[in-house]
């Protein structure tokens, strides 16, 4: 729950016990105790009772308000003790010192409480944001206890596996594991309990309709504020279509390689076959092969004089 806006502090304070309610109660308490101290005899030394006021104001987690209530209690104690004739006495000093100490301690408590509430509100906002991100993610985001019981199941898991959150939360994660992979759950939980992070590039899961899907999985241990591992968070992405495309591409590549081998083999067979001899038609005389005659000597010409 976030902090209310300033314009709704009054309604928040009285309806839900907000910080202003504690401040008002503290002021009324100081006023009532101061009046009682003024009506009591000086020997009762009750004017130190307003020190209760700052302690009540500390519950508001507002240090300035604690200081304001403490100052009011100090002035009330001083006025009552002076009216009773104890001005400057050790009793007056002791009771006023008690109010100062109570105010200082209450201020420290209020400051620590305010820091704690701020950190708690920030953590709650972060958890709410992470929950919204997980719910809107298209991947299956699943959280299980350390015994394998599903404790969180987002919309992506519903779309991937077909189980709604109401159907699967409280049941074992083995419901989406194929029968031949059931024994892998326990070793995985043991590894997560030891603080290990698990990554599976290709894993099989069983959907509600009985079909199997291929997923890539990343599982991380979840720790509490003390560092103890209390749960496991898994992110699972559907890679079934990717696996199908890879199988089709592999089959196409094998067919192409086989066709190329057959084509090469056919070319080799064709080159190895003997060439057929030419057939000369009957009755047609063959042309005589040319006969080389004797070489004629080169004519010599006289050199010109």
Burial class (CB in 10 A: 0-12, 13-18, 19+), 236: buried
Convert the pLDDT of each residue in 89-103 to its tens digit: 888 888 888 889 999
Residue 11: how many other CB atoms lie within 10 Å: 11
Domain residue ranges of the chain, discontinuous segments joined by +: 6-132, 137-242
Beta-sheet strands, E only, within 229-299: 229-238
Does residue 295 register a pLDDT over 90? no
Q: How confident is the model at residue 228 (pLDDT cuts 50, 70, 90)?
A: very high
Which region holds residue 45: left if phi is over 0, alpha if psi is between -120 and 50, else beta?
left
Residue bearing the bigger pLDDT, 270 or 222 = 222
Could you give phi then psi for residue 264, rounded to 5 degrees? -65, -40
Least confident span in 56-65, 136-145, 287-296: 287-296
Chain mean position to CA 132: 10
Who's near 37: CB < 8 A, 6+ residues apart? 44, 46, 47, 49, 50, 77, 80
Residue bearing the bigger pLDDT, 285 or 74 = 74
The pair of three-digit structure tokens given for residue 288, joined into one six-digit string: 């005589």
pTM: 0.53
Domain at 137-242, CATH class? alpha beta
Closest CA to 9 of 1, 19, 300, 283: 19
Does residue 273 register a pLDDT over 80? no
Residue 169: its pLDDT value, please? 94
SS3 content of the chain, % helix, strand, coil (to 5): 60, 15, 25
Does residue 262 register a pLDDT over 60? yes
Beta carbons of 69 and 23 less than 8 angstroms apart: yes
Does residue 263 register a pLDDT over 80? no
Convert the pLDDT of each residue in 18-72 to its tens digit: 677 888 888 888 888 888 877 777 665 565 678 888 888 888 889 999 999 999 9
Beta carbons of 102 and 113 less than 8 angstroms apart: no
Beta carbons of 47 and 77 less than 8 angstroms apart: yes
């Amino acid at each position: 729950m976030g902090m209310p806006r300033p314009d709704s502090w009054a309604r928040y304070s009285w309806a839900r016990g907000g910080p202003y309610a504690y401040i008002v109660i503290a002021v009324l308490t100081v006023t009532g105790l101061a009046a009682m101290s003024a009506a009591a005899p000086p020997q009762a030394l009750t004017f130190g009772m307003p020190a209760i006021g700052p302690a009540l104001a500390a519950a508001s987690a507002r240090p300035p308000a604690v200081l304001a209530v403490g100052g009011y209690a100090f002035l009330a104690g001083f006025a009552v003790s002076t009216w009773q004739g104890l001005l400057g006495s050790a009793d007056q000093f002791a009771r006023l010192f008690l109010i100062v100490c109570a105010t200082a301690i209450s201020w420290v408590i209020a400051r620590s409480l305010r820091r704690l509430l701020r950190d708690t509100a920030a953590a709650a906002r972060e958890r709410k944001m992470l929950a919204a991100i997980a719910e809107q993610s298209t991947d299956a985001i699943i959280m299980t206890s350390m015994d394998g019981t599903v404790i969180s199941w987002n919309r992506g898991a519903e779309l991937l596996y077909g189980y709604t959150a109401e159907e699967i939360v409280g049941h074992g994660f083995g419901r989406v594991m194929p029968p031949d992979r059931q024994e892998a759950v326990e070793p995985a939980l043991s590894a997560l309990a030891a603080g290990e992070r698990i990554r599976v590039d290709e894993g099989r899961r069983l959907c509600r309709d009985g079909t199997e899907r291929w997923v890539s999985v990343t599982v991380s241990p979840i720790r509490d504020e003390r560092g103890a591992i209390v749960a496991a968070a898994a992110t699972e992405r559907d890679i079934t279509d990717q696996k199908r495309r890879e199988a089709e591409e592999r089959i196409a590549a094998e067919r192409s390689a086989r066709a190329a081998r057959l084509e090469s083999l056919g070319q080799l067979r064709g080159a190895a076959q003997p060439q057929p001899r030419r057939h000369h038609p009957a009755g047609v005389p063959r042309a005589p092969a040319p006969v080389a005659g004797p070489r004629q000597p080169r004519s010599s010409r006289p050199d010109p004089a």
